[in-house]
Amino acid sequence: MKRILLFSIFSVFSLNIYSQAYKPLLDNLNEWHVTTCFSGCLTDVYYTDGDTIVEGKSYKILDGFHYISRTFLLREEVNNKKVFLNKVAPGQNEEFLLYDFSLNEGDTFNMRNPYSPFPRDGGAFVLDSIIERPLADGNEYRHFYFSPASGNTTSTENSVWVEGAGSLSIINAPGGNPDINGGGQLSCFFKDTEIFYANLDSINDCIPIHLKVEKYNLDEIIISKQNNGGNCVLSNAQNVKSITVFNLSGKKLETITNDGQNSIKIDLSSYQNGMYILFVNGFGNSKKSFKIINF
């Protein structure tokens, strides 16, 4: 009897250690940048701007680009790990279930893509895999990989969700294929002005636009590579508070603080050859990012 009891306690204890808490998608302030590239690259910006209550439920107001009417509302049931979009109109509300982050591998989910370039009812998708990958803060978050279910004649392309950020396509298109040469691909996502997700394959940096973050005092920064070893130097850095180094997979490698110096030396010699991202945090909540190649 004691052996069974000890095993049960150990099992519960182990489960509590290894289970990861759900990261809510909606924060107080949220801003998504979606980039599309054809002859050049164009980034559309979506953001939440204020709160409202409809039929006793609390919502964030979705604004930006196609959604400036302030009639598109987002809400999240954190306990159920679900996110909804509501399109309000006089005498009528239409709510859609966009995301269900409680799904397990092998589950089927009916994708709804309301008011987006993708089919309004995208049909059934199968959750093929859930993989934890690091994001801008260095922590790992679950990535959900879907493909159209057998018999789905509406959608033919895959979709990807990121816990805490939403679709890698448009926020209200969970069934959208993240294609930078098609309907667009998520390039940046900010929570309360802090970068949460960044993909700098086709853009130079991630700077919030609608969250009242100034960037003028970082515009003069110059980054240069020294000839000897794997060192680089940031000049005109008197307004820099810290620099965080990330690899291209989004893993945080180190943070360097600045005590008011005009130049900051960054040693990359211990890292493998390749491209790295330097995320600069300045005074007044200003932010800027750079790409540097270590060779």
Kindly state whether residue 275 falls inside one of the protein's structural domains. yes
Kindly state whether residue 20 falls inside one of the protein's structural domains. no
Provide mean pLDDT across the span 42-62.
92
Of 198, 229, 253, the position where a domain reaches its end is 198
Kindly state whether residue 115 falls inside one of the protein's structural domains. yes
pLDDT-derived band at 13, boundaries 50, 70, 90: very low
Are 160 and 221 members of one domain?
no
CATH number of the domain that residue 290 is part of: 2.60.40.3080
Whether 283 has a pLDDT exceeding 50, the answer reads yes
Kindly state whether residue 231 falls inside one of the protein's structural domains. yes
Whether 83 has a pLDDT exceeding 80, the answer reads yes
Structure tokens at 246: 């990330």
Structure tokens at 94: 């239409």
Are 237 and 287 members of one domain?
yes
Are 135 and 53 members of one domain?
yes
Are 193 and 220 members of one domain?
no
Kindly state whether residue 72 falls inside one of the protein's structural domains. yes
Are 64 and 190 members of one domain?
yes
Q: Which of 66-80, 190-204, 227-241 has the highest mean pLDDT?
A: 66-80
Kindly state whether residue 11 falls inside one of the protein's structural domains. no
Are 48 and 188 members of one domain?
yes
Are 118 and 254 members of one domain?
no
Kindly state whether residue 133 falls inside one of the protein's structural domains. yes
Kindly state whether residue 2 falls inside one of the protein's structural domains. no
Q: pTM, whole model, 2 decimals? A: 0.68
Query: Which DSSP helix (H) or strand (E) runs through 161?
Result: strand 159-162
Are 255 and 175 members of one domain?
no
Are 103 and 155 members of one domain?
yes
Range of the domain at 39: 30-198
Structure tokens at 147: 């493909």
Are 178 and 222 members of one domain?
no
Are 167 and 72 members of one domain?
yes
Are 137 and 111 members of one domain?
yes
Dump pLDDT digits (tens) for 228-257: 667 888 888 888 888 888 887 778 889 898
Residue 5 three-state SS? helix
- Look at the chain and report how many structural domains it folds into: 2
- How far lies 186's CA from each of 9, 31, 63, 162, 283, in Å? 43, 11, 16, 11, 27
